[in-house]
Amino acid sequence: MRRARLAILVALGIAAVAVPAASSASGTLTAPGGLQAFQLRIGDSKAATPSFSRTPSLAWNPVRGAVRYQVQLSATGAFRAANAVVWSGKPVITPATAVPISLPWSGGRRLYWRVRAFGADVVSGWSAAARFRLAGGAPSRLPSGAGYVRWAPVAGASGYEVSFRNLGKVVATTTTVADLRDYAAAGAPPKVVWRVRAVRRLAGSDRRTLSAVSYSPWSRTYASRVSLRAPKRLAAVFAGGEHGRMPVFLFPPNGNAGLHRVYVAKDPACTSVVLKGPAVRGVAFAPRVGSGTADLPNGRYWWTAVAVERKGRTLADQQDPQAGCRAAAATFVRGAAGPAVGSARTPFATGLSPSGRVSSQPRLYGSPVVAWQPVAGATRYDVQWSRSDDPWRTVGAVRTYATAVTLPVGPGTWWYRVRGIDGSVHGDPWLSFSKPVRLTIATPTFTVVEG
């Protein structure tokens, strides 16, 4: 008489429970298929080798009988080659995962990834490898102003390098603007001949197979007229409206002084100075990488510009910042809005749907992948979750260098929010939070079957 065997079969194959009845007769699991990389939602790139400006998330079709999956990411299609594997993820229960690395741009070079499934006591073979590439576009010029040039931001960029070609000089900046202090000296060229490229930095991995710094193509070479027409008053201009970045400071000359220095303070009297700029020529100052200035935390600031005179081999301010603020002071607010994480009803959340398919929607099984749009100035992100949005009580948090994360929450209704972290800030590095968005994790259903 045939012996009946009862097995607990977890619907949709997502819970960490033995499912021998779902395995094939030979006791093996099928290798996963349907591999796809995406940025915000499933299907946002359908190319055979999709190209992204920042690290994508990864998804695949669920395997019947699987209780865990593991993903590998490699610099070559030969995963066993020396130093080829650049990331090996921890096992996940959902057929989708986020890669916690700010991967560098690779241009035409491809990155490869594969996935395998785990059952109760069996492991599938690795899937066929899928591929994608990361690349940044060349910046394009935007209308400039007296004393500075600017360009459109490049998605995924960590910063920029500006080449002043007729001066033989390259400067670095985290903003999309560069002042023309180098063209204000006597004998400088009457035109600015320049080009710019975006820079992206690796974060979250120390693998030698990945470039620590990568670059977009150079922009076209532009020629801009050097206009040192002095502004009538102090003005802080945010390039492209990016309040998450530092502005360019415009100031009228003080008498016949050829050099000026910008001071930024936290109070109207300028007694609490938080930024002391270098002495510069011209009528504009934009912070540069390596110039001794740092980004500032979000908040309201007051600033002024004081004249600087040369005394022998030294430079001396003609007045202190407090006197400068009494004579002329201006204010600005640094603080971009929080990341866009979708709408309150439709977040950028991807996982296993109640119909058993990998999709992007607000009701999912297992641990979903949640994504967001990057914000200016953020070098890392903090993701928090709560059982309610009002009052908000943080239950857990995770940080990542990417713009997506696998959210480790259980069944029930959850709210999550995201904020950027600016690693270049000295002091409070936190940027603004996104609006909280709602996510429902369904409770797995069970079916008893006869084996």
User: Mean pLDDT, the chain, as a whole number?
Assistant: 87
The pLDDT value given to residue 240: 67
Q: Which amino acid is at 119?
A: G
pLDDT at position 7: 33
pTM (2 d.p.): 0.88
The tens digit of pLDDT for each residue in 267-292 reads: 999 999 999 999 999 999 999 998 77
Residue 316, class by beta-carbon neighbours within 10 Å (0-12 exposed, 13-18 middle, 19+ buried)?
exposed
pLDDT level of residue 192 (50, 70, 90 thresholds): very high
- Check pLDDT > 90 for residue 161: yes
Other beta carbons less than 10 A from residue 352's beta carbon:
25
Q: For the chain, which domains are there?
A: 6-132 (2.60.40.10), 141-242+246-334 (no CATH), 349-450 (2.60.40.10)
Q: Please tell me the predicted confidence (pLDDT) of residue 367.
A: 93
Q: What is the pLDDT of residue 82?
A: 65
pLDDT the model gives residue 329? 95
Q: What is the mean pLDDT of residues 430-445?
A: 89
In this predicted structure, the answer to whether residue 128 has a pLDDT above a threshold of 50 is: yes
pLDDT of 397? 97
Encode pLDDT of 327-362 as tens digits: 999 999 988 778 999 876 789 999 999 888 999 999
Token pair recorded at residue 233: 């008053």
Task: Please tell me the predicted confidence (pLDDT) of residue 21.
Answer: 30
Classified as helix, coil or strand, 160 is strand
* 54-100 residue pLDDT tens: 999 999 999 999 999 999 999 998 887 666 899 999 999 999 999 99
Three-class DSSP category at 76: coil
CA distances from 125 to 70, 83, 122, 391 (A): 11, 21, 10, 47
Q: Which helix (H) or strand (E) holds 387?
A: strand 380-389
| Per-residue pLDDT at 242 exceeds 90 | no
